[in-house]
């Protein structure tokens, strides 16, 4: 019976890892991290974001990675609207952070410098922040009114 349970658990783990839209080489991290499609103005985009659902995932963010694959990023959902600060202390590539407030409204975006220890404060209370490469966010920046997380 243990062999069957072990095989079933392995199949589930593999299915979750394959379903994730991340090309991360860390299968355990990928399997434990939920991935969602970024939705802009109620339209799904080809952008896939890992959801930083736990405090540990939020603290780690996209730091300590060599690079960020195209069309990927990280979303930081928060249960309550509040002013928030982000840093780039352990991040070796620049990022655009999209600040999202009440009713999924885009409050703006900020380009963050790699390895910067300075805080990047939200412009107002936010319920969601999304980090992407500036190249991926650039084409959407001028027209994005709302941002939300779509399907896995």
* SS3 assignment for 50-80: EECCCHHHHHHCCCCCCCCCCCEEEEEEEEE
User: Which domain does 59 fall in, by range?
Assistant: 33-149
Element (H, E) at 141: helix 134-141
Q: Is residue 135 part of a domain?
A: yes
Q: How far apart are the first and last CA of the chain?
A: 32
Q: Is residue 88 part of a domain?
A: yes
Q: Is residue 3 part of a domain?
A: no
pTM summary value: 0.80
The per-residue pLDDT string of the chain (152 residues; one tens digit each, 9 = 90 and over) reads: 444 443 333 333 233 333 445 444 444 444 467 999 999 999 999 999 999 999 999 999 999 999 999 999 999 999 999 999 999 989 999 999 999 999 999 999 999 999 999 999 999 999 999 999 999 999 999 999 999 999 88
Domain harbouring 95, CATH code: 2.60.120.1140
Give how many domains the chain has, as a whole number: 1
């Amino acid at each position: 019976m243990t062999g069957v349970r072990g095989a079933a658990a392995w199949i589930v783990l593999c299915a979750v890892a394959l379903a994730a839209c991340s090309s991360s080489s860390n299968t355990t991290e990928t399997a434990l991290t939920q991935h969602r499609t970024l939705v802009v103005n109620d339209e799904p985009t080809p952008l896939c974001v890992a959801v930083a659902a736990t405090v540990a995932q939020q603290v780690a963010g996209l730091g300590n990675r060599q690079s960020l694959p195209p069309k990927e990023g990280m979303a930081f959902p928060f249960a309550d609207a509040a002013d928030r600060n982000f840093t780039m202390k352990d991040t070796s590539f620049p990022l655009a952070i999209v600040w999202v407030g009440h009713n999924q409204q885009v409050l703006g975006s900020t380009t963050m410098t790699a390895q910067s220890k300075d805080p990047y404060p939200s412009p107002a209370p936010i319920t969601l922040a999304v980090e992407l490469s500036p190249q991926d966010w650039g084409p959407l920046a001028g027209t994005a009114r709302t941002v939300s997380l779509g399907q896995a």
